[in-house]
Amino acid sequence: MKSGKNWTATVIRRRGVHYIAVRIPRDPILIERIKQFEGYRWDAKEQVWLLPDKPWNRERFGIAREELLSTWHVEGIKKFERHLRILRYSENTLKSYTDALKMFLKFHNTKKVQDFTVEDIEAFHTDYILKNKLSISWQNQAINAIKHYFKINADVKFNPDLISRPKREHKLPNVLSKEEVKTLIDSLYNIKHKLMISIIYACGLRRSELVNLRLTDLDSKRGLLIIKQSKGKKDRLVPMPESLFAISREYYKQYRPVQWLFEGQTPGEPYDERSLASVFKKALTASKIKKPASLHWLRHSYATHLMENGTDLRIIQELLGHNSSRTTEIYTHVSTRNIQQIRSPFDDL
């Protein structure tokens, strides 16, 4: 990994292809400079700019050929991936953990597994994660990956459980009002787009759950939507409004999906999550909602509005598919049902 005054750059691998990953501040001037490179693209998930791994790009950022992972690390990552697959981790988790582990191993590229110490991991936190201002959630993800990696290597000379975690953030979930949700949905005129956004809110789905819905997951007779093998490898049932079943029948007549409820341009292939996010972003613009909302806000809004309607916390937990009620309890802090009834002492002045 190389770094300059306003940037860091390293070589990463995506689907068998090497790229130079450049991380820069959100400065319009720096972004414009990056866009001068041929073949650039933005990786929203990792928050980095990807440039083709070409000699002239390496020279520009001072990256030597040795920046690629050492042979022993490549083999270690393959072993790590096999381990996660045996444990039946989802493809998304597998990719996230593997990418984080690769970043860690590149940071200590010349070290072998048996030479690592807890101090090396702390150095990664200080000189890479904190220096690049990566999120606490990414740091925890990296720690999970690193712990798994060292636990499957017998040559490690320290206890992986000694790796410390950062203090967790306690942020309130972002929520749209019912009026804002209605305005958002009403701004969509394409029946497919309207139905997708409507189901996410009406059933409190994650976007991955929506795009993985099959035609057989709609149970119109019982008014239910079946969510299969979602986060945590769990199935769950959620109620779906009859009005959406009626819209879904009209949608089916028009689009005739083959296997998935929502398919992309290629029949038989599920709708792309990035395209779904784009649909939401356009609806947000059309509805003139100024909040920096994302698709996941709809899930938060669903839970909060249920709580404001008096739905029991335990039921909301089941509907969202949370393992612990503590996860669901956060919505009690944004529900206005009780807060709005509180009389401020200011009114008595």
Tens of pLDDT, residues 156-188: 777 777 777 777 666 667 889 999 999 999 999
Instruction: Spell out the domain ranges in the chain.
Output: 2-67, 71-162, 178-339
What's phi and psi for 24, nearest 5 deg?
-135, 160
Q: Which stretch, 161-165, 169-173, 255-259, 325-329, has highest mean pLDDT?
A: 255-259
Closest of 64, 65, 158, 140 to residue 100, by C-alpha? 140
Q: Which of 137, 135, 180 is nearest to 298 (CA)?
A: 180
- What are the residues whose beta carbons fall under 8 Å from the beta carbon of 15, sequence distance 6 or more? none
Average pLDDT over residues 313-341: 74
In this model, does residue 346 exceed pLDDT 70? no
Q: Amino acid identity of 302?
A: Y
Mean pLDDT of 93-110: 85
Residue 315 phi, psi (nearest 5): -70, -40
For residues 211 and 260, is the Cβ–Cβ distance under 8 A? yes
Does the active-site annotation cover 85?
Answer: no
Catalytic residue list contains 322:
yes
Question: How large is the average pLDDT for residues 119-144?
Answer: 85
Quick check: is 193 catalytic?
no
Q: Does residue 48 have a pLDDT over 90?
A: no
- Give me the torsion for CA of 295, 301, 306, 312, rounded to 10°: 90
Nearest C-alpha neighbor of 92 from the set 229, 292, 294:
229
Evaluate if residue 3 carries a pLDDT over 60.
Answer: no
pLDDT computed for residue 324 by the predictor: 73
Question: What's the confidence (pLDDT) of residue 114?
Answer: 83
Question: Which carries the bigger pLDDT value, residue 60 or residue 68?
Answer: 60
Question: Given 299, 300, 302, 305, which residue is catalytic?
Answer: 299
Q: Quick one: pLDDT at residue 344?
A: 61
Q: Which residues contact 200 (CB under 8 A, 6 or more apart)?
A: 207, 210, 295, 298, 299
The residue from 73, 102, 125, 322 that is catalytic is: 322
How sure is the predictor about 66, in pLDDT bands with cuts at 50, 70 and 90? very low
Catalytic annotation present for 299 = yes
* Best CA proximity match to 261, nearest among 240, 289, 232, 231: 240
Distance from C-alpha of 81 to C-alpha of 95, rounded to nearest angstrom:
9
Catalytic residue among 13, 147, 231, 282: 231
Phi then psi for residue 7, to 5 deg, are -155, 160
Question: Does the annotation count 296 as an active-site position?
Answer: yes
Helix axes 296-308, 178-186, angle to 10 degrees: 140
**Mean pLDDT, all residues of the chain:** 83
Q: Which CATH superfamily is domain 178-339 in?
A: Intergrase catalytic core (1.10.443.10)
d(CA 75, CA 69): 10
Do 71-162 and 178-339 come out as alike in CATH topology?
no
In angstroms, the CA 39 to CA 47 distance is 17
Question: What number is the average pLDDT over the span 315-336?
Answer: 76
Tell me the one-letter amino acid at 182. Answer: K
Q: Which of 1.10.150.130, 3.30.1180.20, 3.20.20.150, 1.10.10.60 is the CATH number of 71-162?
A: 1.10.150.130
* Average pLDDT of span 146-151: 88
Check: CB of residue 109 under 8 Å from CB of residue 67.
yes
Crossing angle of helices 191-203 and 178-186, in 10° steps, is 160
Q: Which of 73, 106, 206, 207 is catalytic?
A: 206
307/325 Cα distance (integer angstroms)? 13
- In the sheet that holds 224-227, the strands lie side by side as 218-219, 224-227, 236-239
Q: What is the pLDDT of residues 13-22, one digit of tens each?
A: 766 677 888 8
Q: What is the mean pLDDT of residues 233-237?
A: 83
Question: Do the Cβ atoms of 311 and 320 come closer than 8 Å?
Answer: no
Tens digits of residue pLDDT in 275-306: 999 999 999 999 999 888 889 999 999 988 98
Q: Are 145 and 89 in contact (CB under 8 A)?
A: no
Identify the residue with better confidence: 232 or 38.
38
